[in-house]
Every structure is written in C-alpha cells, then in structure tokens.
C-alpha cells in the first residue's frame, strides 16, 4: 500500500491575486505625440506589472484604467461577457 501524504497548502500565486492600479502620474508625451495631457499608469497582479501611457484628463484616464482593470479581473475569473451561441438546424427547402 502506498503512503498518502497530506496535501500541502498552496501559496498565493500571481493568478490568485487580482489586478489593481498602483499609480497614475502625469508624464511627458511619447515621441511624435502632441503636447496634450499624458499619464503613465502601473497595474499590478502579484509580481507582474503592466506599465502604460494614456492621453486625456486625469479623470478620463483614471476611469479608462479602472475599466481595464475590471475587465482583466473578469477575464482572470472566467467571467467574460461572451455570448454562447447555439447553432440552429438548417431549414430544408
């Protein structure tokens, strides 16, 4: 008979942690872009990070980033807004 070892508790992996906005700060525009307001943002999930830049007012950039974080977390949890279509039988004429 084989020895059965108890399952060890799993440590919190990066996938178990939600995405969150760490910072949003005004930055210089990318090369070739206009001089309008640009913001640099950092989104993290565990030790992973996403760094990006976005143009607009602080409120519009913050809203867009929060929306993106919500979508990333929905995708991570498997709760995407996809519609599951069922093909209907073809009509015979």
Counting Cα atoms < 13 Å in the Cβ hemisphere of 58 gives 5
Question: Closest by alpha carbon to 47, among 23, 76, 13?
Answer: 13
**Would you say how long the chain is, in residues?**
93
pTM: 0.66
Q: What is the DSSP letter of 6?
A: P
Q: How many angstroms separate the CA atoms of 62 and 37, rounded?
A: 13
Can you give the residue ranges of every domain in the chain? Answer: 16-75
Mean pLDDT across the stretch 8-16?
54
89 vs 68, higher pLDDT:
68
For the stretch 35-79, pLDDT in tens is 789 999 999 999 999 999 999 999 999 999 999 999 999 888 776
């Amino acid at each position: 008979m084989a020895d059965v070892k108890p399952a060890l508790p799993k440590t919190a992996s990066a996938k178990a942690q939600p995405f969150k906005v760490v910072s949003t700060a005004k930055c210089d525009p990318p090369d070739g872009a206009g001089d309008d307001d640009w913001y640099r943002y950092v989104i993290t999930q565990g030790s992973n990070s996403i760094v990006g830049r976005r143009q607009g007012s602080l409120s519009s950039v913050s809203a867009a980033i929060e929306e993106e974080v919500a979508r990333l977390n929905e995708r991570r949890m498997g709760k995407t807004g996809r519609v599951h279509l069922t093909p209907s039988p073809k009509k015979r004429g």
